[in-house]
Amino acid sequence: MLRQFPSLLRQLFRHRSTRVTSEGVQFLLFTLAIGIAAINTGNNLFYLLLAMMLSLVLISGIVAEHSLRRLEFHRHLPDHLMVNEPTTATLVAKNRKSQLPSFSLKLFDVSDGREVDRGLEIPQLLPGTSRLVSYSLVATRRGRLQLDGICVGTEFPFGLFMKRTFYQIEDTVIVWPEIKPIDERLLQGLLTAGSEQSVHRRGHGNDLYNLRLYQAGDDSRNIHWPTTARTSQLTVRETEAEEQRRATVYLPTVAPVSHDALFEQAVSVTASIIRHLAHRGYILQLVVGSSRSSFGQGDLHLLELLRMLAVCERHSPHGESAVPGDQPGDLFEVQGGTMIAVQSWRGPWDIEPQHPTIMVDGAVIGGASDAV
């Protein structure tokens, strides 16, 4: 019991903090002055005023404590954020007290141990009710955004003190790299690339893929009349799907510290290229450093790739001669498809280029410098 007690105390007071507002400072100065006057003169009416001011201080403490107690928060975040793109996060605040309302709640986001003021205010939260507040959340760094909890403060009732308490609600969001529109010339380069490796598949298109017997539900326009006439059986033609292309995007992660900003640019460019290609129906594979995704298609796959980009990290080069971009090359040839590499660092001789280099099947694409 005795051993539990200190921990209980810590539990109670760990997350409380009180700050005196500027009005509070003035108030306390007045209180001090009146206290001195009271002691000096022994005038009981001064003591009465002093007692009033002290009890105001006490009452603010008690009421503020009650205001902050038994609240409940949960936060909703979008699944993904994008760097520099504002998203709306919502907080649901609920007053679980059965009788007492809470007033003037000020909410602060606690992220990485720092309090961030989002200007969130709940003027009044009646007992048993909940309130939805939303704020715009802008992530400035890609990667994992860690949100620890909510710090609630109130200056209620008298605005003399700001009392705060911390409610823990941990959330982690993946922040994607920024996706920017891609430059025209780069676009041309990407479009011309990879067309040879088309995989044969049924679908909309013009090239003949197959002929088969008519089934109910087939489009009557697809009936291949010559064959039908020949075989006196309804035959339809199937066409080959267009734009079935494969591509592998490679982002080397080896770059010296001096290329850090450039690496971030490269990640952003890679993300933009991936999304662009995914929207054009490419089957994509992403290789980031040594990790590699499978070939895939569809939005889920795109999300997976973007997540990889979001969490990738730059590594400093170990050896002097380590030239990135060489070693995975053979593998791509086996898999087929276009290879697009986005390089932020081409080797030790590369001194501070302005932009990452983009290579499609080993050829540097001009105009890539304007892509970012």
Partner 1 sequence: MPFDQALRFASIWLASTSFIGLALGAGLPEWLAALTGAALIVAFLRNRGHKSVERLARFSPISPAGWNLLVIVGFLGFWVDMLWVSGELLPAGIHFLMILMIIKLFNLKLRRDYLHLYAISLVAILASGSLTTDLWYLPIFLLYLLAGVWTLLLFQLTKHPEETQVLTMSGTVRSQASASVHLVTPQFFWLANGLAFATFGLTLAIFFTVPRVSAGFYQKGVGENMRTSGFSETVNLGEIGPIKRDPSVVMRVELADGSPNKADGLYLRGVAFDQYDGKAWTNRLGYRRSVNEDGTGAFVLLGNRSAAPARLGETIRQNILLEPLDTPVLFAAPFIERVSGKFPSVQSDLTGSAYLPFPSSSRIEYSVLSRSNPVLPADLSSEPSLYPESFTRHFLQIPVQSERIAILAKEVTHTQRATFDKVHAIQSFLAHNFHYSLDAPLAELNHPLEEFLFSRKTGYCEHYATAMVMMLRTVGIPARLVTGFLATEWNEYGNYYLVRQQDAHAWVEVYLPHSGWITMDPTPPSLESVGSNSPAWHALGRMMDTVRLQWSRFFVQYSAADQLAVVRELKAGGTSARNKALDSMGTLFNPFMAMVGGIKEYVFNGTISSLAEVLGLALIGLAFFLWLGIKRPWAKAMAGKKTTRDQQPIVQLYGRMIGHLARKGISKPASSPPLEFVRLTQERWRDAGSAVGSITELYCRARFGQISPTRAELSLAEGHLRYLMALHKP
Partner 2 sequence: MNATEIILAIQENIARVIKGKPHVIEMSLVALLARGHLLLEDVPGVGKTTLAHSLARSLDCSFKRIQFTSDLLPSDIVGVSIFNRQKQAFEFMPGPIFANIVLADEINRTTPKTQSSLLEAMSEAQISFDNKTYPLNQPFMVIATQNPAEYHGTFPLPESQLDRFLMRLRIGYPSPEEEKKVLHRSQLLHPAEELQPLLTAHDVLLLQEQVDHVLMEESITDYLLAIVQCTRQSDLLSLGVSTRGALALSRAAKALSLVRGRTFCLPDDIKELAPIVLSHRIMVARTQGIRQRSFEQAERIIQDLVESIPVPV
> Least Å distance between CB 131 and partner 1?
10
Tell me if 272 sits within 8 A of 187, measured CB to CB: no
Residue 127 touching partner 2 (CB under 8 A) = no
Q: Which residues contact 22 (CB under 8 A, 6 or more apart)?
A: none
Task: Report the partner that residue 351 touches, choosing among partner 2, partner 1, none (CB closer than 5 to 8 A by kind).
Answer: none
Report the residue from 87, 104, 197, 227 that binds partner 2 according to the rule CB under 8 A.
Answer: 87
Residue 55 touching partner 1 (CB under 8 A) = yes
Number of residues that bind partner 2 (CB under 8 A): 30
* Residue 238 amino acid letter: E
Q: Which of residues 213-232 bind partner 2 (CB under 8 A)?
A: 217-220, 222
Q: Which of residues 223-282 bind partner 2 (CB under 8 A)?
A: 281
- Across 240-255, b (16+ Cβ under 10 Å) vs e yields bbeebbbbbbbbbbbb
Q: β-strands 17-20, 130-137: how paired? A: unpaired
Report the residue from 68, 71, 81, 287 that binds partner 2 according to the rule CB under 8 A.
Answer: 81
The position carrying tokens 């991936």 is: 274
In the three-class reduction of DSSP (H, G, I as helix; E, B as strand; rest coil), residue 113 is classed as: coil
Residue 129 touching partner 1 (CB under 8 A) = yes
Task: Report the partner that residue 217 touches, choosing among partner 1, partner 2, none (CB closer than 5 to 8 A by kind).
Answer: partner 2
> Least Å distance between CB 199 and partner 2?
14
**Beta-ladder partners of 348:** none
Cα–Cα distance between 237 and 209 in angstroms, integer? 8
Residue 39 touching partner 1 (CB under 8 A) = yes
Cα–Cα distance between 249 and 295 in angstroms, integer? 11
Cα–Cα distance between 306 and 298 in angstroms, integer? 12
Cα–Cα distance between 175 and 142 in angstroms, integer? 5
Binding site for partner 1 (CB under 8 A): 23, 26, 30, 34, 37, 39-52, 54-56, 58-59, 63, 94, 97-99, 101, 103-104, 106, 119, 121, 123-124, 126-130, 155-160
Binding site for partner 2 (CB under 8 A): 76, 78-81, 85-88, 90, 92, 129-132, 134, 136, 203-204, 217-220, 222, 281, 297-300, 303
